[in-house]
Amino acid sequence: MAQDNLSLVLHAKEDLRLENRPIPEPGPNEVLLQMHSVGICGSDVHYWQNGRIGDFVLKKPMVLGHEASGRVAKVGSEVKHLKVGDRVAIEPGVPREMDEFFKTGRYNLSPTIFFCATPPDDGNLCRYYTHSANFCYKLPDNVTFEEGALIEPLSVGIHACRRAGVTLGSTVFVCGAGPIGLVCLLAAKAMGASQVVISDLSEERLLMAKDLGADFLLTVRRGDGAQQLAKSVEEMLGAQPHITIECTGVESCIQTAIYATRSGGVVVLVGLGSELATVPLINAAVREVDIRGVFRYCNTWPMAIAMLASGKVNVKPLVTHRFPLEQAVQAFETTRQGLGIKVMLKCDKNDQNP
Amino acid sequence: MAQDNLSLVLHAKEDLRLENRPIPEPGPNEVLLQMHSVGICGSDVHYWQNGRIGDFVLKKPMVLGHEASGRVAKVGSEVKHLKVGDRVAIEPGVPREMDEFFKTGRYNLSPTIFFCATPPDDGNLCRYYTHSANFCYKLPDNVTFEEGALIEPLSVGIHACRRAGVTLGSTVFVCGAGPIGLVCLLAAKAMGASQVVISDLSEERLLMAKDLGADFLLTVRRGDGAQQLAKSVEEMLGAQPHITIECTGVESCIQTAIYATRSGGVVVLVGLGSELATVPLINAAVREVDIRGVFRYCNTWPMAIAMLASGKVNVKPLVTHRFPLEQAVQAFETTRQGLGIKVMLKCDKNDQNP
Amino acid sequence: MAQDNLSLVLHAKEDLRLENRPIPEPGPNEVLLQMHSVGICGSDVHYWQNGRIGDFVLKKPMVLGHEASGRVAKVGSEVKHLKVGDRVAIEPGVPREMDEFFKTGRYNLSPTIFFCATPPDDGNLCRYYTHSANFCYKLPDNVTFEEGALIEPLSVGIHACRRAGVTLGSTVFVCGAGPIGLVCLLAAKAMGASQVVISDLSEERLLMAKDLGADFLLTVRRGDGAQQLAKSVEEMLGAQPHITIECTGVESCIQTAIYATRSGGVVVLVGLGSELATVPLINAAVREVDIRGVFRYCNTWPMAIAMLASGKVNVKPLVTHRFPLEQAVQAFETTRQGLGIKVMLKCDKNDQNP
Amino acid sequence: MAQDNLSLVLHAKEDLRLENRPIPEPGPNEVLLQMHSVGICGSDVHYWQNGRIGDFVLKKPMVLGHEASGRVAKVGSEVKHLKVGDRVAIEPGVPREMDEFFKTGRYNLSPTIFFCATPPDDGNLCRYYTHSANFCYKLPDNVTFEEGALIEPLSVGIHACRRAGVTLGSTVFVCGAGPIGLVCLLAAKAMGASQVVISDLSEERLLMAKDLGADFLLTVRRGDGAQQLAKSVEEMLGAQPHITIECTGVESCIQTAIYATRSGGVVVLVGLGSELATVPLINAAVREVDIRGVFRYCNTWPMAIAMLASGKVNVKPLVTHRFPLEQAVQAFETTRQGLGIKVMLKCDKNDQNP
Ligand SMILES: NC(=O)c1ccc[n+]([C@@H]2O[C@H](COP(=O)([O-])OP(=O)(O)OC[C@H]3O[C@@H](n4cnc5c(N)ncnc54)[C@H](O)[C@@H]3O)[C@@H](O)[C@H]2O)c1
Ligand SMILES: NC(=O)c1ccc[n+]([C@@H]2O[C@H](COP(=O)([O-])OP(=O)(O)OC[C@H]3O[C@@H](n4cnc5c(N)ncnc54)[C@H](O)[C@@H]3O)[C@@H](O)[C@H]2O)c1
Ligand SMILES: NC(=O)c1ccc[n+]([C@@H]2O[C@H](COP(=O)([O-])OP(=O)(O)OC[C@H]3O[C@@H](n4cnc5c(N)ncnc54)[C@H](O)[C@@H]3O)[C@@H](O)[C@H]2O)c1
Ligand SMILES: NC(=O)c1ccc[n+]([C@@H]2O[C@H](COP(=O)([O-])OP(=O)(O)OC[C@H]3O[C@@H](n4cnc5c(N)ncnc54)[C@H](O)[C@@H]3O)[C@@H](O)[C@H]2O)c1
Ligand SMILES: [Zn+2]
Ligand SMILES: [Zn+2]
Ligand SMILES: [Zn+2]
Ligand SMILES: [Zn+2]
């Protein structure tokens, strides 16, 4: 076993450092993981640039990274379902308390949950990392480490589509073709959506969406009216979509989402914007268009692994860039500039394969 | 059978007239009803004062009234489940088309639905009125005509609580103690809510709420902060309510509703306000507080009758004023001034009992 | 328009005749259809061989056929959404009464529903047939008439999977690889099932299932124990399936279905067997395995058309035989002998294409 | 603190002994409880008489009792929400593993769950007992210890009604008026059922049901036909019940349950009978009557406490007998003879109040 534990630590706003930390010991219900692939998320970059997201404020140095997979290097005394050498995907949120949310199966809502790279909890952009064994899921041989890491963003898409109730023959409008919009597209298709319209400002991102299976692309120009865009969506599909999944957080997109959705349908809010939003709530209310939020996910890893193993969902094209952990700052800069879709950091010096 | 058909007709904004109309003949699937009790609704008054509600604009004279019950006077040739003399409650919304909404059991969302006293469809504030027999429900002997008429507003409460998922042990916050807030309170209690907080500006309305079973009263003063009111609700209940039912349509109340509701809970929007509302949507989204609208109701009459017949819901105290049909304008004036809760018009000259 | 209306009429048990009937006139809400493709269903054969299914007894001559598509030849006076020439798929069940089942969106349960080729209601194995326009669905250009006809059996699969709650990552066990088992397989895959095990006595049918996407084939031998078969299913999947869809009606298969299904999962009963069945109900109860029946379907045509149009479900391989209407008896004999999967009757003399 | 820990220990079939055991120490996440009131359940008596229930076989001495409440005497080092002196109700099932069932909020289905007085896990018919603090719920001042103990059986009723989907205006048929049938009746009424029919062989138990709010009593005589009883239920209600809750485990009752229930409705199986049952499964399937099992409960204590505190559910009349712990064997004999409804054992020498 290697001796160093190179880690990407955010010390303060705009102060990102690669430094060596001690290799931790797993507790009785934990495993020590040799990290393999960790994707960079918009939130990682946001903490780097701003030192905070909403009420979560960086107050002490924190390791970044939460889209991750690795190999079991050591097993805690109570752990039964994993053994050294197992390849696993890591669910970054681990509830700390057995509160009402956990007991009822919605542990993502537990206010005291541990979450990788959400202050003050350390993430896993490092060489060695310990995690609750119950939230590490064994990968089948035909699922790569990178696919394993991509389960994290994919889970947001699965949870969004599940909360939306996507089912056979659903028509879906996805606002925004960033990484999150794209995983919503993939999840919607896998759950039986017959047609998906996806919108973005960027032609390039829309082309990626097309490759991933989008049926219609809606190029948005800043200043386009919400009702007019809603009309365009209706015209593309021949009817209003049953479901809209908002993945930009932009106020005008939330407006479009409401106007666009069919009566009795659902708008899911994935994108996170400003605290107050001005929206046509009455339009939604009198047409019984439900508005449902998404906070991360829960209970998605097993189904995501099943889908990846069966080959029914293909997330591989999402990875557009790869960097060794040593070049993490460069990698972050790539994401910051909005180049490509997903940047992967390769944490295992001896295995930089997907 | 009497010869006249005195009817309350709105000719234009602020032009309300009592006039005689011909007694209609029931079509093959209709019944002719001798009207007995018809409640005045805020929307009736609104049409009278403004000539429109949103996109529904009065363009030709329209009979008002939609909270109604009466006695079958004549039966169409195809009608089997009703006979002359039956006492019935009238569901005012009758789908015209067998569209996707009707086929899936959400006929209230059908855009072409007939609805009493929504332009251009005539209501039933008159002596004789024909209606689809399928939307007339026989009243048991122990349910009065007025209770039958009150099923209409009660249905809004039932539909709201059903969409909210009120169940055993739910804690509920109802914003607004007007007629609609009060029926939501009644329905919530009947569906198993353990504790209900209700708010209003008016002490008098809150006292009525107390009589009807509210556990906590929250007197609101104009200018109270939304977050502060949310805090008060939490303090009264000892925890945030699972469910909030907004029955004012006021923007600050929608804000309070969102802040007040427990993570994973539901805000139901019953109140109808201005087209755009500025609300803390992100607060709802990241706590997965669903926002669900209510447009009238569907499939509520049978369960409402069952509850009234069983004595488990008591709507009688809602009726605070009664007028004979001949004094309809006076009755409307009473409602306009916000006196009491529900004003009943008595349409049967020979029987003005409840 | 042709003058004859050759029709396949069942006069009594084992007395099947091709005869000419008058071309009917559509009522105001109906369309006259020139029939194109009609599949033969096990129930058609069953009526032919036995003169009854359960309580449905043939008492007077009845036209057979209910898996059908055709072209609009005439339009009733009130019909708005269809015009002459439109190609349509026919939903054979049309509710007659606006009862509680219809109003709540479960019209398949309406006891007075009209249903093609269920005594005493005539089916559509004929040249010209009238049907409620509201239950005729326009086919897009890229969906063939035969696909349109196959929507009927596919709907059974969709309804079964919907009642089962098949979703992303579901593992599903389908008992029986007859036409109905196969459409359940197709629907399950389209709704996101990650793995499907299918069983049958017939190797040939299992090979068809493999072609249609089954992940595991379980060849059953008469006399195999229910618990042992359940164990085999578990071994194939690596865990018990979330859902079992029983499509044989055989008692031992229902037993297998219960033993096989994961705790908290669902068994759907599609197959129809003898009136009483001896089953391990307690095993299901204490593991909260729900047992849900399927009676035909409701609200499936729009989503089925959407899936066929999008190319995400391919039913074409199900058609293994074709006969012109004139050879209907031969066609029925083919189905009776269990040859192939689906036999199509081609009712349009001038167009016998798929 | 007292020094003895008198405990009711089942050593083998028919070998029940009161003996002194050491007072245990609470683990870090546990509390030590001074037991106050413990109800005797049919299952306790069954273990005593038979040494087993199904696959659960007594292999070593086990303390009986699982319907319990007590006072916190000591608090584990990690426990935050409880303190010495708190009065609590005990949820007897505590999941041991964070498996898929626990993570999805259905921990009652976890196969490795700890459960009081299910071999080999000790129950709490003793003076002092340690339990996971997360499964001890603080009682408000206005809820008695006995009400606290009765939350256990009440939870079975709540879970049954929740799985049944009892809601406003539901009509419900409960088979069997033993303790479990009675709590189902109470829960159904509290969740909005408009009318409940309850059946039993015993007139006396039916009279208790009447006192608790049953609307109709159906006295069953051995040998009554299932279809005929179903007909009686329909006649009492004027229509078939939406929901039937089977609380006897008797095969003929399950048959009655299926025949009795309205199309589209639900049969819930609470009663546990023999391994195989012969039932009219096809009758259920073609009418889409769902059959759902109940295994204990999960997530019921908070709502049960809310209902008891609000006074909306009154379980007090269920307690018909009380014995001090020292007379436990006599108490068990009372239950064995079927006298009364619920026998309470009073475990606190200094406080034998309700
Ligand atoms: N709720 C959750 O649990 C959760 C989890 C992850 C991410 N998020 C949020 O989801 C959102 C998307 O994440 P991402 O990583 O894909 O971000 P991103 O910034 O990479 O993608 C957003 C995309 O939206 C597009 N866009 C901007 N304005 C638009 C407009 N008016 N119309 C159409 N498209 C427009 C941008 O061009 C961009 O491609 C972010 O707000 C993020 O905070 C939420
Ligand atoms: N969605 C539907 O299908 C539907 C059906 C019927 C009524 N409505 C709507 O429901 C609402 C209520 O109807 P109603 O007949 O009870 O009206 P109402 O005007 O009689 O009652 C509204 C109550 O809200 C109170 N209120 C106002 N501002 C408040 C504040 N800041 N905080 C707390 N309370 C406040 C008022 O004092 C009043 O008592 C209306 O907006 C109406 O349009 C909707
Ligand atoms: N509920 C409904 O609405 C509905 C609708 C259509 C059909 N059905 C029923 O569905 C069932 C299937 O219909 P189908 O047209 O596919 O019939 P089918 O007879 O063509 O197919 C049944 C298949 O089950 C197989 N089978 C028999 N015993 C088996 C066993 N022990 N293990 C595994 N497989 C076994 C047979 O080999 C056959 O391939 C029938 O019972 C039919 O009545 C129900
Ligand atoms: N599923 C679970 O989690 C769970 C939990 C607790 C109890 N149970 C089961 O619930 C059932 C009821 O428990 P209980 O404590 O009330 O038992 P109990 O024996 O006290 O009550 C059963 C009642 O059913 C009546 N009965 C018997 N045959 C009848 C018939 N043919 N028609 C009508 N009534 C009839 C009896 O007279 C008796 O009053 C038992 O089978 C028990 O094992 C299940
Ligand atoms: Zn992320
Ligand atoms: Zn109204
Ligand atoms: Zn068929
Ligand atoms: Zn018990």
Name the burial class of residue C111, with classes exposed (0-12), middle (13-18) and buried (19+) by CB atoms within 10 angstroms of its CB: exposed
For chain D, list residues whose CB is within 8 angstroms of any CB belonging to chain B: 158, 161-162, 167-171, 187, 190-192, 194-195, 215, 302-304, 306-307, 309-310, 312
**In the predicted model, is pLDDT for residue A1 greater than 80?**
no
SS3 B277: strand
Query: Using a CB-CB distance cutoff of 8 angstroms, which residues of chain D are in contact with residue B143?
Result: none
Pick the atom of ligand 4 nearest to D338's CA. Answer: 20
Pick the atom of ligand 1 nearest to A181's CA. Answer: 16
The answer to whether residues B348 and B39 touch, using CB atoms and an 8 Å cutoff, is no
Amino acid in the structure at residue D8: L
pLDDT at A326: 97
Helix axes D145-164, D179-190, angle to 10 degrees: 70
Give the count of Cβ contacts less than 8 A between chain B and D. 65
SS3 B159: helix
| CA distances (Å), origin A247, targets A158, A244, C259, D145 | 13, 10, 43, 51
**In the predicted model, is pLDDT for residue B60 greater than 80?**
yes
Three-class SS of chain D: CCCCCEEEEEEECCEEEEEECCCCCCCCCEEEEEEEEEECCHHHHHHHHHCEECCEECCCCEECCCEEEEEEEEECCCCCCCCCCCEEEECCEECCCCCHHHHCCCHHHCCCCEECCCCCCCCCCECEEEEEHHHEEECCCCCCHHHHHHHHHHHHHHHHHHHHCCCCCCEEEEECCCHHHHHHHHHHHHCCCCEEEEEECCHHHHHHHHHCCCCEEEECCCCCCHHHHHHHHHHHHCCCCCEEEECCCCHHHHHHHHHHCCCCCEEEECCCCCCCEEECHHHHHHCCCEEEECCCCCCCHHHHHHHHHHCCCCCHHHEEEEEEHHHHHHHHHHHHCCCCCEEEEECCCCCCCC
Amino acid in the structure at residue A163: R
| CA distances (Å), origin A187, targets B228, C5, C144 | 40, 49, 28
**In the predicted model, is pLDDT for residue C107 greater than 80?**
yes
Output the CA A211–ligand 5 centroid distance in Å.
22
Q: Tell which residue, B42, B126, B17, B65, has the closest CA to residue B335.
A: B42
**In the predicted model, is pLDDT for residue D66 greater than 90?**
yes
**In the predicted model, is pLDDT for residue B82 greater than 60?**
yes
Q: Tell which residue, B250, B215, B33, has the closest CA to residue B123.
A: B33
Sign of the alpha-carbon torsion through D212, D216, D222, D227: negative
**In the predicted model, is pLDDT for residue C1 greater than 80?**
no
Q: What is the DSSP letter of B247?
A: -
**In the predicted model, is pLDDT for residue B2 greater than 70?**
no
Can you say how many angstroms the Cα of residue B344 is from the centroid of all Cα atoms in its chain?
Answer: 13
The answer to whether residues B197 and B215 touch, using CB atoms and an 8 Å cutoff, is yes
**In the predicted model, is pLDDT for residue C2 greater than 70?**
no
User: pLDDT tens, A289-343?
Assistant: 999 999 999 999 999 999 999 999 999 999 999 999 999 999 999 999 999 999 9
Tokens of B237: 């209940």
State the average pLDDT over residues C271-279.
Answer: 96
User: pLDDT tens, D113-171?
Assistant: 999 999 999 999 999 999 999 999 999 999 999 999 999 999 999 999 999 999 999 99
Q: Which CATH superfamily is domain B3-137+314-344 in?
A: Medium-chain alcohol dehydrogenases, catalytic domain (3.90.180.10)
CATH number for the domain whose boundaries are D157-291: 3.40.50.720
Q: Are A299 and D103 an interchain contact pair (Cβ–Cβ within 8 Å)?
A: yes
Return the residue in A282, A292, A295 with the most chain B beta carbons within 10 A, the one to mutate for interface testing: A282
Output the CA C336–ligand 3 centroid distance in Å.
13
State the average pLDDT over residues D238-251.
Answer: 98
Give the count of Cβ contacts less than 8 A between chain A and B. 114
User: pLDDT tens, B288-306?
Assistant: 999 999 999 999 999 999 9
The answer to whether residues B51 and B342 touch, using CB atoms and an 8 Å cutoff, is no
Q: Where are the domains positioned within chain D?
A: 3-137+314-344, 157-291
Check if the interface score ipTM surpasses 0.95.
yes
Tokens of C280: 């391990």
pLDDT at B116: 98
- DSSP for B164-225, written as a single string: HT--TT-EEEEE--SHHHHHHHHHHHHTT-SEEEEEES-HHHHHHHHHTT-SEEEE--TT--
pLDDT at D350: 93
Q: Work out the mean pLDDT of chain B and round it to a whole number.
A: 97
**In the predicted model, is pLDDT for residue B3 greater than 80?**
no
Q: What are the E-state strand segments in A13-127?
A: 15-20, 30-39, 52-53, 56-57, 62-63, 67-75, 87-90, 93-94, 114-115
**In the predicted model, is pLDDT for residue D199 greater than 60?**
yes
Q: Tell which residue, A259, A319, A250, has the closest CA to residue A40.
A: A319
Return the residue in C97, C100, C104 with the most chain B beta carbons within 10 A, the one to mutate for interface testing: C104
User: pLDDT tens, B125-151?
Assistant: 999 999 999 999 999 999 999 999 999
Name the helix (H) or strand (E) containing B308.
helix B301-310
* Closest residue CA from atom 25 of ligand 4: D176
Instruction: Please state whether the predicted TM-score (pTM) of the whole model is above 0.80.
Output: yes
Q: What percentage of chain A exceeds 70 in pLDDT?
A: 99
**Chain B residue with the nearest C-alpha to that of D237:** B306
Query: Using a CB-CB distance cutoff of 8 angstroms, which residues of chain B are in contact with residue D158?
Result: 168
User: pLDDT tens, A72-106?
Assistant: 999 999 999 999 999 999 999 999 999 999 999 99
| CA distances (Å), origin B36, targets B71, B145, B332 | 7, 7, 17
Output the CA D343–ligand 8 centroid distance in Å.
12
Amino acid in the structure at residue C268: V
User: pLDDT tens, C228-258?
Assistant: 999 999 999 999 999 999 999 999 999 999 9
Q: How confident is the model at residue D2 (pLDDT cuts 50, 70, 90)?
A: low
pLDDT at A39: 98
**In the predicted model, is pLDDT for residue A3 greater than 90?**
no
Q: How confident is the model at residue D1 (pLDDT cuts 50, 70, 90)?
A: low
Return the residue in D82, D100, D103, D110 with the most chain A beta carbons within 10 A, the one to mutate for interface testing: D103
Query: Using a CB-CB distance cutoff of 8 angstroms, which residues of chain B are in contact with residue D307?
Result: 168-169, 192, 194
pLDDT at B1: 54
pLDDT at C63: 98
- Rounded CA-CA distance D29/D78 in Å is 5
- Rounded CA-CA distance D144/D124 in Å is 18
Tokens of C211: 């072609």
- Rounded CA-CA distance C317/C186 in Å is 11
